[in-house]
């Protein structure tokens, strides 16, 4: 008898059901299916691969131990796991007593990895630096703005899924996203004119910056 052809949420519900009966393979399948999403989201939220590693591990341990809390009728498993990861990252930020430093070296797109490979090396370089500035601005956002930007803009969740993950209304997601985008534009206004910056030679050198360490989003407000 062959396995039923399940995909998407039905497959998730089936895997969770089997995992609840102690099926190790079902748990491993869930891990392989979602650990990338959870890890990426955690890196984007925290700016640290170490934190993301811990959070990913805790998310799946929580899923294994408290799988009964997941209700398929309330939303997708993906939104549920994003919700756990978000909660854990925010909890870690709240627990941190002093201002925490975030290692941007761990992020893709750091200055060290900026390589101009196109026919317009100056334009490509300024573009890469604009991306880096934007990453920093995202990390400086308050958590409730940061999470909607990361969920909807960087991970492609719909407003409904983001609302399920965060536990709020769709209208709240819309308004937060709008406000977060405006904050990013305000903070990255110089970077959003790459051609002008490149023409004026205003691209900052890596040495002129504060280095690859910036303050956490909590302290950046």
Residues that bind another protein (rule: CB under 8 A) add up to a total of 42
Q: How far is the CB of 36 from another protein (least distance, A)?
A: 6
Q: Per rule CB under 8 A, is residue 73 in the interface with another protein?
A: no
131 by DSSP, 3-state: which?
A: helix
Q: Is the Cβ–Cβ distance between 81 and 63 less than 8 Å?
A: yes
Q: Per rule CB under 8 A, is residue 40 in the interface with another protein?
A: yes
Near another protein by CB under 8 A: residue from 12, 15, 16, 39: 39
Q: Per rule CB under 8 A, is residue 53 in the interface with another protein?
A: yes
The contact pattern for another protein, residues 18-37, with x = CB under 8 A and - = no contact, is: --xxx-x--xx--xx--xx-
Near another protein by CB under 8 A: residue from 71, 95, 189, 210: 189
Helices (H), the chain: 8-20, 24-46, 49-65, 77-95, 121-140, 143-148, 159-166, 170-187, 194-200
Half-sphere exposure of 11 (CA within 13 A, CB side): 13
Q: Is the Cβ–Cβ distance between 82 and 37 less than 8 Å?
A: yes
Which residues, 76 to 95, sit near another protein by CB under 8 A? Answer: none
Q: Per rule CB under 8 A, is residue 149 in the interface with another protein?
A: yes
Question: b/e for 3-25, b at 16 or more Cβ within 10 A?
Answer: eeeeeeeebbbbbbebbeeeeee
Q: Is the Cβ–Cβ distance between 129 and 203 less than 8 Å?
A: yes
Looking at 80-88, 116-124, 126-134, 206-214, which segment touches another protein (CB under 8 A)?
126-134
Near another protein by CB under 8 A: residue from 45, 60, 157, 173: 60
Q: Is the dihedral of CA 119, 122, 126, 128 positive or negative?
A: positive
Near another protein by CB under 8 A: residue from 114, 124, 131, 203: 131
Site residues for another protein per CB under 8 A: 20-22, 24, 27-28, 31-32, 35-36, 38-40, 43-44, 52-53, 56-57, 60-61, 64-65, 108-109, 127, 130-131, 134-135, 149, 153-156, 181, 184-185, 188-189, 192-193
């Amino acid at each position: 008898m062959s396995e039923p052809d399940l995909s998407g949420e039905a497959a998730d519900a089936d895997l969770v059901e089997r995992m609840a009966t102690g099926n190790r393979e079902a748990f491993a399948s869930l891990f392989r299916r979602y650990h990338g999403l959870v890890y990426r989201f955690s890196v984007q939220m925290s700016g640290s691969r170490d934190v993301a590693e811990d959070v990913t591990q805790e998310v799946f341990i929580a899923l294994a131990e408290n799988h009964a809390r997941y209700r398929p009728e309330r939303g997708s498993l993906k939104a549920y796991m994003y919700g756990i990861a978000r909660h854990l990252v925010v909890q870690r930020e709240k627990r941190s007593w002093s201002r925490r430093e975030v290692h941007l070296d761990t992020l893709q797109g750091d200055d060290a990895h900026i390589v101009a490979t196109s026919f317009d090396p100056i334009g490509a370089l300024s573009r890469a630096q604009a991306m880096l500035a934007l990453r920093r601005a995202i990390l400086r956002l308050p958590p409730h703005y940061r999470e909607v930007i990361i969920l909807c803009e960087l991970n492609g969740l719909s407003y409904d899924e983001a609302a399920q993950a965060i536990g709020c209304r769709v209208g709240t997601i819309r308004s937060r996203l709008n406000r977060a985008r405006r904050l990013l534009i305000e903070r990255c206004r110089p970077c959003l004119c790459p051609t002008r910056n490149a023409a004026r030679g205003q691209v900052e050198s890596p040495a002129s910056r504060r280095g690859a360490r910036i303050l956490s989003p909590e302290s950046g407000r």
